[in-house]
Amino acid sequence: MKKITILGAGTWGTALAAMLKKENGHDVVLWSAIPNELDELSRSKKHPNLEGLVLPDGIIFESEITQACRGADFIVFAVPSLYVRETAKKIALSLDEKTIIVDVAKGLEKGTGMTLCEVIEDEIGRKNGGIVALSGPTHAEEVALGMPTAIVAASENAEAAEAVQREFSGSFFRVYTNSDIKGIEICGAMKNIIAICAGISTGLGYGDNARAAIVTRGMAEITRLGVAMGCSGRTFESLAGIGDLVVTCMSRHSRNHRAGVLIGKGYSAEEAKKEVGMAVEGLNALPAALELSERLCVELPFCHALSEVIMGTLDVKEAVNSLMLRALKPEISSDKQ
């Protein structure tokens, strides 16, 4: 039995807390920066966005972050990407060197282009002494209901990845390991951008043909960026690569796809975010992706088209049609991955 602290009581953090307590029998502490959120979870044992989940007894709800993290074997970052650095800074001075850090948030930091594990490492001053990215095709809504799920624990520290695999795996939750942590994180961040583009296509009334093209060419775009950043090309063919992209572009649970559908129907990006009511991480990652595109001289046509749509300089229908039909540079228009 391990002490596992979950930072963030959103859908993913809450679903993990329930699973790790009920299925794995760990001592679980759930922290949130919003005390009222914790009070309601403690009282009702339910999360408003996780239908069918009843939280098991024994989860500790803690609003003081230092207390929540004290003595933890694992600390899981499940806060929105925009708050990862701020949260890491809060625990940096009191962090036990033996504690394994697990990040389940997906994104890229604007201005630095850092992945979220790099942001955490930057704040806590630990040179990969046990930082793991836990990522893959995993909707919280299905994990909360105990549906079969597979995910990847990625770290350069094999012992840390294997510890997460051992302690997080369960009857319906299978954890694989991978050493390409940056590649896994690039997949997790970039797939949300492509999912918005797929949603826009759906919102315009286009069908499976267009969506399949966006998924396939979107994966090529993600791979180009990842390889330019020194990642393994094979990572993008994996569960946390193409697997996560497919589920995020196809599922009714995907908030990024849902936001894209709304944008395709004429909503502004801000209106779409408000309607979704939860973090739309693809919109948060987009500025950093554009910065990386310029810095590394990597063609990211989906990212640039989405940016123009958001700014209002490109019509949504024109954006999708141009991505599908326009003549591109030979190395971009080739179907080679």
Catalytic positions: 191
Phi, psi of 127 (to 5 degrees): -85, 80
Q: Decide: residue 3, CB within 10 A, 0-12 exposed, 13-18 middle, 19+ buried.
A: middle
Cα gap 286→62, rounded to integer Å: 33
Most distant CA atoms of the chain, gap in Å: 59
The strand pairing partners of 133, in sequence order, are 103, 154
Q: How far is CA 32 from each of CA 45, 78, 119, 141, 281, rounded to the nearest angstrom?
A: 15, 10, 20, 19, 19
Closest CA to 193 of 177, 217, 171: 217
Cα 100 → chain centroid = 19
Sign for the pseudo-dihedral over CA of 118, 121, 126, 129 = negative
Put the strands of the sheet holding 27-31 in their side by side order: 60-62, 27-31, 3-7, 74-77, 100-103, 131-135, 149-154, 173-178
Cβ atoms of 323 and 304 closer than 8 Å: no
111: left (phi over 0), alpha (psi -120 to 50) or beta: left
